[in-house]
Amino acid sequence: MTKLAYKRILLKLSGEALMGDSDGGIDGATVLRLAEEVKELCDLGVEVGLVIGGGNILRGSEVASDVLGRVTSDHMGMLATVINALAMQDSLESLGQSVRVMSALQINQVCEDFKRRRAIRHMEKGRVVIFAAGTGNPFFTTDSAASLRGIEVDVDLLIKATKVDGVYSDDPMTNPDAEFYPSISFDDAIDKRLNVMDATALVLCRDHQLKLRVVNIFDKGAIKRVVGGEDIGTLVQ
């Protein structure tokens, strides 16, 4: 059995991770592949929380305009994260994994309201908890929601799954000379304006001593190796 370096984690996925090769929306096969990786963690005894963005459907900050206010567009973006959470819930349940979606907005017909003590109890019982609708407030990203929920439910590690192998000085997709950082401090990540998470999310992690590991979501088994203590991706602390 794999020795666990982390007992309770929060995994932050972008909404784009659910698209697969399509231009938007949700690709069922991709969601199932991600669900299988989460199920593997649960089978090892890891307590898992999830936050999924909504960018595959809608980003509030991008659709805000003179005729559509930022608050309304952000609420629309929060609902997009609920759609993604329900898709992941269904895929996990198809694998036999118990799941609860907990929303920062009240949508009682399809998911539970977020309550900290109940979320922790779900995780202790081996259920995956998917935290949906961001923080429930406009102007905050799902990265900030991931940091906040991770702190609230006392996770050992926040894992951000991205399209690249960790944190770089520049976008490695467009700049082959970008420098890779195997580890970096929160202050340096903020000062250098590295594209890790937004500043609010990073400051929350820094001030509450929540370590962040950035890994490639397309590297199959990477998250399992992280919880086993393997040093992959970038550690931000």
Identify the architecture of domain 8-236 in CATH.
3-Layer(aba) Sandwich (3.40)
The reported pLDDT for the residue numbered 126 is: 97
Three-state secondary-structure class, residue 165: coil
- Using alpha carbons, list the distances in angstroms from residue 58 to 61, 80, 89, 138, 167: 9, 6, 20, 14, 25
Provide the 8-state DSSP code for 198: -
The reported pLDDT for the residue numbered 78 is: 96
The reported pLDDT for the residue numbered 63 is: 73
pLDDT mean values, one per 10 residues, the chain (237 residues): 88 92 88 96 97 88 77 93 97 98 96 98 98 96 97 98 90 90 96 91 97 93 94 96
Two tokens at 75? Answer: 């609420």
Angle, alpha carbons 111-117-120 (nearest 5°): 80
Rounded to 10 degrees, what is the CA torsion of 187, 134, 23, 181?
A: 20
Q: Is 203 exposed, middle or buried (0-12, 13-18, 19+ CB in 10 A)?
A: middle
The closest of 223, 211, 97, 193 to 147, measured between CA atoms, is: 211
Q: Which residue has the tokens 């649960």?
A: 42
> For residue 187, which phi and psi values (nearest 5 degrees)?
-60, -40
Domain residue ranges in the chain = 8-236
